[in-house]
């Protein structure tokens, strides 16, 4: 059977090929849902009251919370977080209370979606404590032809200073995040708090 | 089609081998992986003399038993800030000293993340005794978040002693890292609206305190 | 900012039009537990999956749910992913299944809450002067689900008939017929 793809069908296919808008933080939400699905019942002695509280937060409800946090344009999977910051987090998947002995689970890091808009940049990378300030670790991708830059990274719970490395040489603080001054180098950076899962 | 979906079997086999090689690397010993990864990251330092200095320092620190990951990170941070080699070296020296101090304060055991967090806390003016108190309250779990909150409060202008007492007391009464993070967020917001840092901390701290058990004793919690 | 003169602001929504090249080692690495590789897969495929789901289901919110469920299942099923096979058809098989499940759920709901109403997709003709893409979408929605799915996989997602046959378990000739009928309908309604 010969497939009858002509000019009109081509046009229709092209119209349907337009990419859907992807909300900032979508990838982080997916990762949150993935981790939520991974949670298995823990022995009672490993549970904490908080575990039980968090367990009531469904992945979907948590996703809505992330969406709500987008008012500052910057998302982090975890718990609802840091109102004064541009980083926002949302309730983590229910996991057992972390202890030093099972720090391995915590060491995976919490997915953080980052969005940064800067026209005229040729490249942008996120550098910070979470990736050892390695300029090659977290390159951001241009979203659309002239859209913002976006990346998802894994950050361990705690306080992290970071900045955006533009065109491989210029460090730019996150314009909407709380400021941090490097004690050793004196430069301007930003700070975000990542919660314990 | 952006992905080469028409890849033939041979190419797929090669891809699979390449991927398995990557996966195999991941299964090598943690130490050798860390060494290789650190070396690769040092290549981001373009100036040969600086890179050589940093590499020598890292190797010496490793021989001294200092966790090297925070040092590599600090060196690359310095490069990002376009610091001179001398400045980067000074920063690494200072960080190693603070990590050593943190190791004492967080005894008997601490993760590398905790050491790095405590070292940053010290650099931002958090009192050493405060870090020791936090460890006493929570000897068996990571306190990276708690140390981070304390650091951030101090970094944003809360008097170090007041911040330390508040975080310590809240932890002793069972406040979670999440509650402390929320406290910090609320304080930062209040400060942004013009409230003094200390007043904001007192106000928000009392709010969190009211949610916690009044029976827990701070003195009991931090007794050696 | 020195020499940087760009506009500096954050945005609430993101429109991802282009994605950079896919690293073909990602699926195997993700299968072996590399979470950063899994993130790479999601980053790359999310827009495409969302496009397919939206075209299939017609609802943005349901499409997002289908895509999220798909990646959860991908993650949970990686142990069954054959490393010698390509990733696209495997991913789209899971996605297509999720879309079918969601559409079935929606049909049940619709029959409960919209009794008596005429489903828009059953009778709507493209409005005169409506945006071309909207017209196409309206006609697409009016197609039987099997034709819509086959058309999208073949002509929008650019999968081969062999891949689609392997994914769906439908014979090649039947698939070609579905696509042909979809094309015929599009041609008749859009011309």
Residues in A 91-120 with any Cβ partner in C closer than 8 A:
108, 111, 115-120
Query: Considering its fold, how many domains does chain B have in total?
Result: 2
Query: Nearest residue of A to residue C2 by CA position?
Result: A170
**B16 touches C: beta carbon within 8 Å:** yes
Residues B68, B135 share a domain: no
Domain ranges of chain C: 22-117, 119-191
Q: Domain range spanning residue A69?
A: 23-194
Q: What is the pLDDT of residue C167?
A: 86
pTM over 0.80: no
Q: Which domain holds residue B191?
A: 127-224
Cβ separation B5–C84 shorter than 8 A: no
Residue among C6, C43, C50 minimizing CB distance to A118 = C6
Residues on chain C touching A1 (C-beta within 8 angstroms): 173, 176-177, 180
Number of domains in chain A: 1
Is the Cβ of A156 closer than 8 Å to some Cβ of chain B? Answer: yes
**Binned average pLDDT, 10 residues per bin, chain A of 197 residues:** 73 86 77 70 34 30 32 28 29 26 55 82 92 91 76 89 92 86 90 82
Per DSSP, the residues of chain B read --S-TT--HHHHHHHHHHHHHHHHHHHS-HHHHHHHHHHHHHTT---HHHHHHHHHHHHHHHHTT--SHHHHHHHHHHHHTT--HHHHHHHHHHHHHHHHHHHHHTTT---HHHHHHHHHHHHTT--HHHHHHHHHH-TTS--HHHHHHHHHHHHTT--HHHHHHHHHHHHHTT--HHHHHHHHHHHHHHHHTT--HHHHHHHHHHHHHTTS-S---HHHHH--
To 10 degrees, what angle do helices C60-77 and C87-113 make? 140
User: Which chain A residues have a beta carbon less than 8 Å from that of B155?
Assistant: 180-181, 191
Whether C22-117 and C119-191 share one fold: the answer is: no
pLDDT value of residue A187: 85
pLDDT over 70 for what percent of chain A? 59
Smallest Cβ–Cβ distance between C84 and the set B12, B23, B26 belongs to: B12
The answer on B131 and B101 residing in a single domain is: no
- Among partner residues B1, B6, B23, which is closest to C32 by beta-carbon distance? B23
CATH architecture of C22-117: Orthogonal Bundle (1.10)
- The beta-carbon neighbor of B16 closest among C19, C83, C158 is C83
CATH number of the domain residue A51 falls in: 2.60.40.10
C-beta separation of A8 from C187 below 8 A? yes
The Cα of C147 is separated from the nearest Cα of chain A by a number of Å equal to: 14
Q: Is C160 in contact with B5 (Cβ distance < 8 A)? A: yes
Closest to B5 (Cβ–Cβ): which among C19, C32, C86?
A: C86
Task: Identify the residue among B185, B191, B193 best suited for mutation to test binding to A, counting A beta carbons within 10 A and taking the highest.
Answer: B185
pLDDT beyond 70 at B105? yes
Query: What residues have CB less than 8 Å from B148, skipping those under 6 apart?
Result: A158, A159, A193, B117, B121
Instruction: Categorize the per-residue pLDDT at B22 as very low, low, confident or very high, splitting at 50, 70 and 90.
Output: low
What integer is the mean pLDDT of C153-167?
92
Residue A68: per-residue pLDDT = 27
In this structure, what DSSP letter does residue A139 have? B
**Distance, CA of B174 to CA of B195 (rounded, Å):** 27
pLDDT at B164 (0 to 100):
97
Tell me, yes or no, whether A138 lies in a domain.
yes
Q: Are residues C29 and B19, on separate chains, in Cβ contact within 8 Å? A: yes
pLDDT beyond 90 at B63: yes
Percent of chain B with pLDDT over 90: 67
Distance between A115 CA and the closest CA of chain B, angstroms: 20
Distance from CA of C52 to the nearest CA of A (A): 9
Q: What pLDDT is stored for residue A27 in this prediction?
A: 83
Helices marked H in chain A: 7-16, 26-38, 49-55, 59-69, 103-106
User: In the predicted model, is pLDDT for residue C186 greater than 50?
Assistant: yes
DSSP-derived letter for residue A89 is B
Question: Does one domain contain both B137 and B167?
Answer: yes
Distances (CA, A) of A55 to A42, A158, B170, C170: 12, 22, 24, 41
Contacts A185 to B, Cβ<8 Å: 77-78, 81, 83, 87, 91
Considering the domain C119-191 in this protein, what is its CATH number? 1.10.10.10
Phi, psi at residue C60, to the nearest 5°? -60, -45
Same domain flag for B223 and B136: yes
Q: Which of B1, B6, B8, B19 to mutate to test the interface with C (most CBs of C within 10 A)?
A: B19
The answer, for C30 touching chain B at a CB cutoff of 8 Å, is: no
């Amino acid at each position: 059977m010969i497939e009858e793809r002509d000019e009109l069908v081509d046009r229709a296919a092209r119209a349907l090929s337009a990419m859907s808008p992807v909300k900032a933080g979508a990838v982080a939400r997916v990762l949150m849902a993935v981790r939520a699905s991974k949670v298995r019942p823990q022995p009672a002695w490993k549970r904490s009251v908080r575990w039980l509280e968090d367990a009531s937060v469904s992945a979907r409800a948590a996703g809505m919370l992330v969406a709500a946090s987008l008012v500052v344009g910057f998302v982090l999977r975890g718990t609802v977080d840091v109102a004064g910051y541009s980083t926002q987090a949302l309730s983590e998947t229910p996991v057992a209370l972390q202890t030093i002995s099972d720090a391995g689970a915590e060491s995976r890091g919490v997915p953080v979606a980052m969005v940064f808009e800067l026209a005229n940049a040729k490249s942008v990378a996120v550098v910070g404590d979470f990736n050892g300030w390695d300029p090659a670790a977290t390159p951001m991708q241009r979203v659309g032809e002239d859209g913002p830059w976006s990346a998802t990274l894994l950050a361990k719970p705690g306080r992290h200073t970071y900045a955006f490395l533009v065109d491989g040489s210029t460090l730019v603080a996150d314009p909407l995040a709380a400021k941090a001054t490097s004690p050793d180098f004196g430069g301007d950076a930003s700070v975000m708090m990542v919660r314990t899962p | 089609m952006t992905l080469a979906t028409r890849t033939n079997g041979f190419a797929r086999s090669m891809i699979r081998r390449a991927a398995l090689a990557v996966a195999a690397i991941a299964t090598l010993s943690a130490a050798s992986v860390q060494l290789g990864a650190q070396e690769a990251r040092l290549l981001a330092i373009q100036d040969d003399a600086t890179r050589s200095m940093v590499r020598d320092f890292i190797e010496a620190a490793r021989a001294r038993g200092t966790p090297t990951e925070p040092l590599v990170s600090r060196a690359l941070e310095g490069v990002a800030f376009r610091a001179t080699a001398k400045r980067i070296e000074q920063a690494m020296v200072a960080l190693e000293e603070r990590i050593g101090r943190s190791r004492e304060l967080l005894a008997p055991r601490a993760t590398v993340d905790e050491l790095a967090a405590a070292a940053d806390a010290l650099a931002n003016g958090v009192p050493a005794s405060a870090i020791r108190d936090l460890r006493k309250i929570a000897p068996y779990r990571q306190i990276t978040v708690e140390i981070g909150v304390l650091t951030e409060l101090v970094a944003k202008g809360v008097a170090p002693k007041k911040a330390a007492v508040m975080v310590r007391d809240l932890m002793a009464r069972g406040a979670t890292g999440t509650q402390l993070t929320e406290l910090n967020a609320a304080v930062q917001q209040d400060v942004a609206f013009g409230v003094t840092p200390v007043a904001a901390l007192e106000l928000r701290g009392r709010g969190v305190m009211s949610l916690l058990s009044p029976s827990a004793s701070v003195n009991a919690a931090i007794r050696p | 900012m020195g020499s940087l003169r760009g506009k500096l602001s954050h945005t609430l929504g993101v429109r991802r039009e282009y994605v950079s090249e896919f690293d073909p080692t990602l699926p195997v690495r993700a299968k072996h537990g590399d979470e950063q590789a899994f993130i790479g897969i999601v980053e790359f495929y999310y827009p495409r999956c969302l496009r397919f789901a939206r075209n299939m289901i017609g609802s943005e919110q349901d499409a997002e749910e289908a895509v999220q469920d798909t990646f959860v299942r991908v993650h949970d099923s990686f142990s069954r992913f054959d490393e010698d096979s390509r990733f696209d058809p495997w991913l789209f098989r899971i996605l297509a299944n999720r879309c079918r499940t969601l559409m079935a759920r929606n049909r049940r709901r619709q029959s409960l809450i919209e009794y008596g109403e005429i489903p828009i997709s059953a009778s709507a003709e493209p409005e005169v002067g409506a945006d071309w893409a909207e017209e196409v979408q309206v006609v697409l929605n009016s197609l039987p689900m099997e034709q819509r799915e086959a058309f999208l996989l073949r002509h929008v997602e650019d999968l081969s008939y062999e891949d689609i046959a392997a994914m769906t378990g439908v014979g090649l000739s039947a698939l070609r017929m579905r696509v042909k009928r979809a094309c015929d309908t599009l041609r008749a309604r859009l011309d």
